[in-house]
Amino acid sequence: MPNKIRVTVWNEFIHEQTSDDVKKIYPHGIHHAIAKFLAENNDMQIRTATLQEPENGLSDHVVKDTDVLIWWGHKAHDKVDETVVNRVQKRVLEGMGLILLHSAHESKIFKRMLGTNCSLKWREAAEKERLWNIEPGHPITQGIGEYIELPHAEMYGERFDIPTPDKIIFLSWFQGGEVFRSGCCWERGHGRIFYFRPGHETYPIFYNREIQKVITNAVRWASPRIFLENFCYNAKPIEKLK
Ligand code: ZN
């Protein structure tokens, strides 16, 4: 068995401690729910980290010991320390995978990696969402049919202010009429980045087996092939120059 994929599931962990409705759905926090289904895979080893921990749970040691970082945040994006954002960005450029879920679209790290506002349109009306699998050959969509249907979801609509993804793999339709690029892949440096839309705190979306399958596939896709530190040097010519 080759080395396991070292996964860190990061959560700001605020809604689950302040709202009874959220606590009912995710009594131990969203990070715990995600860690639990990922831990079913014997090629992965899972740890969790939260905003409240020292260095937001992402010390230099933790980040260096992570192959894929999963990010869920909503209420407290601005509370994430700049030092931590710098550290995570550097590690993604070196090869670490980064998976951003739902409201992580507004996180400092997502905006840092992509360089745009990452803003969107939203509505909370428990409407139906159908995520169309438009890249059935992609590693992240393996085991997923033509679409995933979520009976109750928060709506995210275009325009989503992101740089054009290297690949869009899910496209959402909402009952209210909007569409959204719900599964987007980028490469930055040696790292792979995946944004996946579902996951609002008052819907039990992280218990949906298809959503779990997508996140599991995404961990394997985003796991690093190489870690390479940034360097820039003066090179001697290989051939003799006149
Ligand atoms: Zn939400």
Q: Mind listing the pLDDT tens digit of every residue in the chain (242 residues)?
A: 569 999 999 999 999 999 999 999 999 999 999 999 999 999 999 999 999 999 999 999 999 999 999 999 999 999 999 999 999 999 999 999 999 999 999 999 999 999 999 999 999 999 999 999 999 999 999 999 999 999 999 999 999 999 999 999 999 999 999 999 999 999 999 999 999 999 999 999 999 999 999 999 999 999 999 999 999 999 999 999 98
Cα–Cα nearest to 193, from 102, 107, 96, 108: 96
Question: What pTM was computed for the model?
Answer: 0.97
CATH code at 5-222? 3.40.50.880
How much distance in Å is there from the Cα of 43 to the middle of ligand 1? 30
Neighbours of ion ligand 1 (CB under 5 A): 103, 154, 200
**Bond from prior residue into 159 cis (ω within 30 degrees of 0):** yes
Domain boundaries, the chain: 5-222
- Cα atoms in the 13 Å half-sphere on the side-chain side of 180: 31
How much distance in Å is there from the Cα of 201 to the middle of ligand 1? 6
Amino acid 78 reads D
